[in-house]
Structure formats: C-alpha cells, structure tokens
Amino acid sequence: MRFLLVPGRNVLTPEHWQARWSRSHPDWTWAPPPPGPPLVFADRIAALDSSLAASDEPAVLIAHSGGCVTALMWAGAHTGPVHAALLVAPPDIDGAEPADPRDVPWRVPLHPLPFRTVVVASRTDPFCTFERAEAFAAAWGADLVDAGDAGHIETKSGFGPWPEGERLVADLSGRSGLPGSL
C-alpha cells in the first residue's frame, strides 16, 4: 500500500499535519508537491494522475482542502489504483473563479466515488459549512467524521500533531497502525 499526500492551495507550514506526516513517513509521497498559490486544478489533477500511474500498487489518498477537490476531479475523469481516500476539510468552491483562465471550472464534483472515502469536516470551517460537508459526503458515498469546532483543520486551528487523523489513515489502509509517530 502506498500513501499519497494531496496538498491544498497554500504553502504548508512545517507544523501542518500533512508536513509532519511527510517527515514521519518518508515513504509517503506528495502528489503533487505542495506548490502554494495559485491553485490550478488542471495542473494538480495531471500531477496526481502521473503519481498514480507510476505504479499499480494500491494507494490511499490523503487530501486537505483544495487537495480534496483535486482528488474528486481526478476521480471523475480517471481510473487508477486508489484503495481509499481521506478528505479533510473539503472547501465549498462552487462559483469561485479559477486563478488561471486555462483551468477547469471550479466546482465541487458530486459523483459517488469508486473507493472507500472518509470526509473529516469541522463545524467552524470558514471555507465550508458543516451542512454542505454533510451533503458532499452523502453525494460521494463517504463516511463523515465530525471534527467539531476545528476551523479549517490546519495549523492555525491547532492541528499540527493529529493522531486521530493518522488512525483514520490506518483504518482506511486496513492496517491496525502505521509505522512512526506523529
């Protein structure tokens, strides 16, 4: 089983849970590496597809924010060896203008996903209401984890070490635990 970290829109701080997991699990791969703004989904989808096509080994996607939309858009147009996905703090981007006019339209896909998916959503995420996250999870056929008052589930809202998230990844991968500690 391989693990692909799908970053969001912004440059990660070293304390962000995805950055910590990358350091704690050197065999986990960025797909694509965190580039920071601007967010161009067409480029991100192509990079994720390339990462997935590099091996037939099943993958667990671990996405945050804009990375969730990248994974969803990829799944709507491609197939590949995805075993499961953890989608953390998916943003509600419907109606937003793409940063690059050559980009794909910015809409959150609402199709069922062909792999097991867990969505982690906060009741105080400034980029998506909890009710919208519930609707997303239902449309995707995903399990929903209520993170409570957790903001955007990133460093500013207190998520550096995030052992509960690592347990979700372990469950999605079918492992009772993962090597290393966060």
Phi, psi of 79 (to 5 degrees): -125, 155
**180 inside domain:** no
Is residue 21 in some structural domain? Answer: yes
Q: Is residue 164 part of a domain?
A: yes
**Of 42, 68, 52, 53, nearest in space to 127 by CA:** 68
Quick check: is 56 in a domain? yes
- Other Cβ atoms less than 10 A from the Cβ of 176: the count is 8
Which CATH number covers residue 123?
3.40.50.1820
143-146/116-121 β-pairing: parallel
**Model pLDDT for residues 147-179, shown as the tens digit of each residue:** 999 999 999 998 888 999 999 999 999 975 554
The count of structural domains within the chain is 1
Give residue 138's identity as a one-letter amino acid code: A
User: What Cα–Cα distance (Å) separates residue 144 from each residue in 45, 110, 131?
Assistant: 24, 15, 11
Is 179 inside a domain boundary? no
Buried/exposed code over 62-90 (b: 16+ C-beta within 10 A; e: otherwise): bbbbbbbbbbbbbbeeeebebbbbbbbbb
Kindly state whether residue 51 falls inside one of the protein's structural domains: yes
136 token code pair: 């997303």
Q: Specify the pLDDT at position 100.
A: 87
pLDDT in tens, 23-62: 999 999 999 888 777 889 999 999 999 999 999 999 999 9
> Can you give the pLDDT at residue 42?
94
Judge whether 181 lies within some domain.
no
Q: Which domain holds residue 143?
A: 2-173
What mean pLDDT is predicted for residues 129-144?
A: 98
Answer whether residue 146 is part of any domain.
yes
pLDDT at 99: 83
Over residues 81-99, the mean pLDDT reads: 95
Q: Which of 7, 31, 32, 9 is nearest to 19 (CA)?
A: 7
